[in-house]
Amino acid sequence: MNRRSFVSAITPVISSGLVIAAAFLVGAILLSLLGKNPLQAYHVLISRGLGSSFGVSETLIKMAPLLIVSAGLLIALKASVWNIGVDGQFLVGACLAGVVAPKLAGAIPLVPMLFISALAGVLGGMLWGVIPALLKVRYGLNEIITTIMMNYVAVYLTSWLVKGPFKDPQVVPPQTAVVPEAFRLPPIPFTPVHIGLLVGLIAVLVVYLLFRNTTFGFKLWVLGQNPRTAIHAGMRVSRLTVLALLLSAGFAGLAGANDVLGVKGMFQGEWNPGYGLTGFALVFLARLDSLWVVPFAYFFSFLLLGGEIMARSANIPVYFVDVLEGLMLVFFAVGVYLERTLAERDRRRVPATQGG
């Protein structure tokens, strides 16, 4: 590898690291303005999140849905389809899994019960992606707007469902029936982490192989690079667009089923973990690279857990982690702009040097 190739390969990694550092620096300033001690807050974040076995195991548990959501976002974003509706698709998938799982628990063996419940989550997510997909290919409506609108509908629809037709009549709070612990996702041997983490890792690996080794993945990549090229090559652009959005939505629904079957054991009214923003920050900082998604998923899971711990132990606002993620996206955009500016300057300099 020559010097130019090495610099090109290492620049995105350094840039993402600087983005994270800048976000934490600005976050520290904001905490100071709020009268909080940023050093104390970050100490709690690191010591509780990374310095204890409980923190590591809880981070790995939170990592599972983020990996699954990120796998779906990789498919959509590589095809230049902006699926902002991850949160809504997650909720619909989780709700359907929360309805199906208790009915099957004990009636059929564990493995098919978990598979059917997870499939219900996938179908729920895909169902919630159908309308934006069709509106985009039939009427040219921007999927950013339609998927955001579907998020709001999903929040209120699932809340109504668990207060009405899907509510467990044996309890007062609005929720589905509880899945017995014996019928939830089993732990990975010798760990307290359920096998949903392995499902997440497999999902990311499948997406990696999809774009690396399949014709379908190549078509999605071409569509994302240049839609006109895809059209001239005879690709069915509308079909690819719909499939990209539906697959992304299906993964979001699977992530919802993962949380219900692995952690909560039910679907509750007003519950919305909001993995959408985190997923976007994650995949962008990973530069849409499937393999880099894994360490970044651990980092963002660590942030989510740390945010909860800081709120309890250091009296830091619960939304502080959301602020950090937003800052990372802003600094990421600035970093990409600077990278492209420097790359363009290098391209102009090379011909001038050769001509001299």
DSSP line for 220-266: HHHHHH-HHHHHHTT--HHHHHHHHHHHHHHHHHHHHHHHIIIIISS
Is 96 a residue whose pLDDT tops 90? yes
Which of 116, 66, 114, 131 lies closest to 286, judged by CA? 66
Cβ neighbourhood burial of 277 (10 Å; 0-12, 13-18, 19+): middle
- How far apart are alpha carbons 122 and 92 in whole angstroms? 9
Q: What's phi and psi for 192, nearest 5 deg?
A: -90, 5
| Buried residues in 76-91 as b, exposed as e (16+ CB within 10 A) | bbbbbbbbbbbbbbbb
What burial letters (b/e) apply to 138-153, b meaning 16+ CB within 10 Å?
Answer: eeeeebeebbbbbbee
Q: CA 302, CA 324: separation in Å to the nearest integer?
A: 13
Residue 82, pLDDT > 70, answer: yes
Mean predicted confidence (pLDDT) in 18-30: 92
Listed in sequence order, the residues at least 6 apart from 328 whose beta carbon sits closer than 8 Å to its beta carbon are: 19, 20, 23, 281, 285
Asked whether residue 356 carries a pLDDT value surpassing 60, the answer given is no
Long-range CB contacts (within 8 A, 24+) of 350-353: none
Cite the beta strand spans of the chain per DSSP E.
none
- Residue % of the chain over a pLDDT of 70: 94
How many angstroms from the chain centroid is the CA of residue 267? Answer: 19
> Do residues 305 and 273 make contact, with C-beta atoms less than 8 angstroms apart?
no
> What is the average per-residue pLDDT within 277-291?
90
Q: Please compute the mean of the pLDDT values over residues 275-281 and round it to a whole number.
A: 90
pLDDT of 87 above 60? yes
Average pLDDT estimate for 314-332: 87
Which element (helix H / strand E) includes 271? none
Q: How many residues comprise the chain? A: 356
Kindly calculate the radius of gyration of the chain based on its CA atoms and give it in whole angstroms: 22
The overall longest dimension of the chain from CA atoms, in Å, is 83
Residue 175: beta bridge partners? 268
The percent of the chain in helix, strand and coil, each rounded to the nearest 5, is: 80, 0, 20
- Mean pLDDT (whole number) for 73-78: 96
Token pair for 330: 């802003």
Q: Which of 320, 306, 278, 312 shows the shortest CA–CA distance to 58?
A: 306
- The percent of residues in the chain predicted with pLDDT above 90, rounded, is 62
Write out pLDDT tens, residues 158-206: 999 999 999 999 998 899 999 999 999 999 998 999 999 999 999 999 9
Work out the average pLDDT over 239-267.
96
Which of 41, 34, 40, 37 lies closest to 310, judged by CA? Answer: 41
**Residue 354 reports pLDDT greater than 60:** no
Dig out the tokens for 266 from the structure: 């039910």
- Could you tell me if 241 and 137 are in contact, meaning their C-beta atoms sit under 8 angstroms apart? yes
CATH for 60-343, options being 1.10.10, 1.10.760, 1.10.3470, 1.20.120: 1.10.3470
Distance CA 159, CA 299 (A): 31
- Hey, what are 334's tokens? 């600035």
Domain extents in the chain? 60-343
Q: Which two three-digit tokens encode residue 175?
A: 């929720």
CA-based nearest residue to 40, from 306, 278, 304: 306
pLDDT for 11 equals: 66
With beta carbons less than 8 A apart as the criterion, state whether 245 and 132 touch.
yes
